[in-house]
Amino acid sequence: MNVRRLPAVLVGLTILAQIGYPLVGGSARNGVTVVTVVLGFAAAVTHAAATRGARTAAAVVLVTAGGGLLVEALGTASGFPFGEYSYAGTLGPKVLGVPWVIPLAWTMMAWPAWLVAGRLVAGWWRVAVAGWALASWDVFLDPQMVDAGHWSWSSSGVALPGVPGIPLTNYVGWVLVAVVMFAALRLLRVDPDAEPGTPMLVFYLWTYASSVLAHAAFFGLPASAAWGALAMGTVAVPLAVTLFREARAGALVSSP
């Protein structure tokens, strides 16, 4: 297999795993969750390596997975920056009190978010847009995972209407952490423009659309479906419009 095609294959497998998630239950669903994250992580890392080289892939893993592990360990130990929360034992062994798969999830969505931002804005604005592109995904993620029993907060405090049990401090913490991560990637000269990143852009759009549908139709979480559609849609919709316009322009140029 062509190495450059491997990320697209892994994205396809990740999507298949996500489709299977609502079709199973109990421990099988927990297993599908882990498999999905591992596949998504592999897709992101192989895409970074295939299009930008091993150095970039290593930097992405160090900043997003390594940084994700450290901030999650800090969060569970101190309550900063997300609020006081704890993990159940449903996602496998823990490292520093954090399920080993959680840092991989940071990478799984951080790399697509970084590439999405590179298609929409330039300069340091990429850091801000990428931070929001990643943090807004958590408006879907946390309600789904809390409902599944993977983690919980000691006190919810002020929460989004219709989404109890998750404090607003959690989402603020996600924005702060995501912005710091992407600032680090920019300082490390990880260039989002080196290659279009089509598989990753497709994965971001799929994650958005499928999350809206799943929360509304399968998980019984209509409020998080609406809030997530609004939050993540501020990035996903402009991306979809941009890709549509580019495809249309390309079709017009190639037509006789």
Mean residue pLDDT of the chain comes to 93
Residues 14-46 have pLDDT tens digits of 999 999 998 888 889 999 999 999 999 999 999
DSSP letter string, 151-169: EEES---SB-TT-TTSBHH
CA gap 87, 103 in Å, rounded: 13
**CB of 7 closer than 8 Å to CB of 200:** yes
177-207, pLDDT tens digit by residue? 999 999 999 999 887 666 667 899 999 999 9
- Please spell the DSSP secondary structure of 67-118, one letter per residue: HHHHHHHHHHHH-TTT-SEEE-SSSS-EETTEETHHHHHHHHHHHHHHHHHH
Per the DSSP assignment, residues forming a β-bridge with 87 are 151
Question: Which string of DSSP letters, residue by residue, matches 28-54?
Answer: HHHHHHHHHHHHHHHHHHHHHHHHH-H
Looking at the whole model, is its pTM more than 0.75?
yes
User: Whole-angstrom Cα distance, residue 173 to residue 75?
Assistant: 10
In the chain, the N- to C-terminal Cα span, in Å, equals 34
Mean pLDDT of 117-122: 92
